[in-house]
Structure 1
């Protein structure tokens, strides 16, 4: 029964023909037994041998191919000598003989291996050896050297199985059963490995997150809405916000669009595509009175600054209350009692009426008599007192940048910003700790 190697050689070189037998008898005589094939010549051909070329063959095992290239270790080496005029089929047949001797695969075919070549000092870059053209190119490069030689590297492709010798397979059926069980075990391991790989969470692109996707949509809509086409505008072709009051153009940048889109996502009471948000970057275009269906556009800092300026214009009051003690006249203690003379209800002309200093009708977050503290950046202040992301973003969206600016905000204004009662309580607790009397 022909072996796997014989079948592979017959497939490459073709079966023995009558012409091959006649040539063999003419050359060696009829008494000699004809071999299955002339391994160095093609069918029916008798070409010159040519210049001998030495091929150094390095063969990697399938187990080595499963390891990283830097950790595989050395390959198994052998050599082969063929003439430069040997055909491609002969070269592949002889190469398969060498591979079979080293790896002993269950089936052998040239397509199961990745074969590359290089020629020392002439063609040093590894090049694929796949057909007659690449083979002739290798031979031509090898003949340029003083001692014609070439290096061949053979790497098994994936899913290439090994087996024992054919004789062992025919005589020992138990070994085949063992190999089947090994293959089943390997299949189970591969399935487990696939499950583990499939079980790993795939990293989500930040752009695909719902919040970022909605923000990106609003950004695109705003950029399309406020693209300036007005002739004569310095920003023509860019983006401008056109004031509905005086039709003035206000240049919009990346920061403006980011703040605007974030405010739109918080609700129509914060901003719309036609109305920018209450933010310091938009103070130049936010009028202090309603325009059409728009709300008064005055930021919180502007309102607080105006209220503080108005309060400073009022007469100053003493910070500590005045207490009067009335001691009766001891000389009149034992005299008959006379009813007290009622005091006039109207104040004396020219006397100034008492004025209560106030900044807002609602209580402030920080008491007015709280000691002065050094200003802290809002980000550090939020981290120090464990503010939630919503509290920090809301304050930053209203233009707050430092801790001392919180002294000017009232509790009602915090509610108007959309903060919840629990979030306002967090701010009150932080204010009570930070501005506590020393």
Structure 2
């Protein structure tokens, strides 16, 4: 690692002293502040703390302390991306150089905000080699959430509020940070949590709604139903009405005429 760093920082120099550059390391969400990496004890400390993570990841930072000879000074872009060239070659290309503003040009109201930005940068550095962002929020479970410059700027500005709705470990309740809410409950502020609880209580106290459909003539007297007139039933007699009366005769003559036996008379 030292040979690779020396070739990039001081190309062409034969003798390189150990005091012209320093090597530090940090572990996101475990050791946010850079610690020196100069001896075997520091290396053992790095390995011991890295193994505590579910996904062991560490970020090594190599920084030049004194400038070499003028003809051997590497470009500014190489100095800024020295860690990427040593640890992750061929990644994070196409970055444009940015010149830091003069300290005297910064407004007094932005000094505290800039301090918060530096604090957030050191706290949420991403040590994942295949991550496209240098700063990420790393939840206990779930994917990384890339923190852009706009995210860090809004977060640092919200930390200046007197209500303390955002801290170094608790981001503000803004729409830009809604994607993190599914990973941990810390994303909800105290005000938002109390409002959600009040809404749940109001929903629980409501009486059930029962819909009843009534007919159009409900409550009116029933209409009078007309019944058909009764039909006259014809009484059928024993003797059909088509027959006429015959001659009057006594029983003996009746038996003789109709040829009935004499036993009827007994």
User: Which protein is richer in helix relative to its size?
Assistant: 1
TM-score by length of 2: 0.31
Q: Which has the larger radius of gyration?
A: 2
Question: Relative contact order (C-alpha < 8 Å, sep 6+): which is higher?
Answer: 2
Tell me the TM-score normalized by structure 1.
Answer: 0.20
